[in-house]
Amino acid sequence: MLDIRWYGRGGQGAFTAARLLGRAASVYEGKYAMAYPSFGPERRGAPVWSFTRIDDRKVIDRAQPEKCDCLIVLDETLVTEKVNEVLKPESVVIMNTVKPEKYGFIQNRLVTLDATGMALQFLGRPITNVAMLGALLGVTDIVTLDHADQVVKDNFPTKLYEKNSALLKAAYASVRGGSEE
């Protein structure tokens, strides 16, 4: 069982990313997945925690997971020292920031990228969810890049798909370093 947690704000698409990952894993890779947002009223700008659980067998436990295997931060203003409480020793944190030096208090492996800059470059808008999905796959291989691209294609109209697809691949490559194909 893999628990992936997404931190963002209403309107940034953190839940869409959680759902796209779950769909790629279940519909395209034959695994089981569950995706859900932090429950409550939906408000633009309010903090949103989203969750994706992936397993080889049907996911039936619906209790809120206390800790996660990957923490993905779309909006760094949500990060305080409290994030350490949701991390396991081997968890990885992937963060959208240009100032990684601010986060020395995070005890785990920290991967950073300028997802906002990339989103502005590819989409013309600071919507970072697809970039962060690409970064997650660059770090973890939870699902293949092709399958992620496929769910992005299913989710967006053609024109938006093309821009997001380019963003997905660029973010993937940026954290993959020289090792991508």
Residues at the contact surface with another protein, assessed by CB under 8 A: 19, 22-23, 26-27, 32-41, 49, 59-64, 66
Spell 110-133 as b/e; 16+ CB within 10 A means b: bbbbbbbebbeebbeebbbbbbbb
- For residue 9, which phi and psi values (nearest 5 degrees)? -120, 150
Q: Pairing relation of β-strands 47-55 and 2-9?
A: antiparallel
Quick one: tokens of 160? 């938006």
Q: Which of 180, 138, 137, 133 is nearest to 156 (CA)?
A: 133
User: Of 50 and 112, which has the nearer Cβ to another protein?
Assistant: 50
At its nearest, how many Å lie between another protein and the CB of residue 120? Answer: 29
CB of 78 to another protein, least distance (A): 13
Coil, strand, or helix at residue 72? strand
Query: What is the smallest separation between the CB atom of 55 and another protein, expressed in angstroms?
Result: 11
Residue 113 CB, nearest distance to another protein (Å)? 26
